[in-house]
Amino acid sequence: MSPDTAMAHIDIFAPVAEALAAGRPVVALESTIITHGMPYPDNSRMAGNVERIITDEGATPATIAVVDGRIKIGLSPAERETLAQAQGAMKLSRADIGFAVAERRTGGTTVAATMIAARLAGISVFATGGIGGVHKGAELSFDISADLDELSRTPVIVVSAGAKAILDIEKTLEVLETRGVPVVAYQSNVMPAFWSRTSPYPAPLRLDAPEAIANFFKTRRALGLDGGMLIANPVPEADEIPAERMAGYIARAQQAATMQAVSGKRVTPFLLQTILELTSGESLKTNIALVENNARLAARIARAL
List, by residue number, the catalytic residues.
30, 164
Quote the CA–CA distance of 224 and 14 in Å, as a whole number. 32
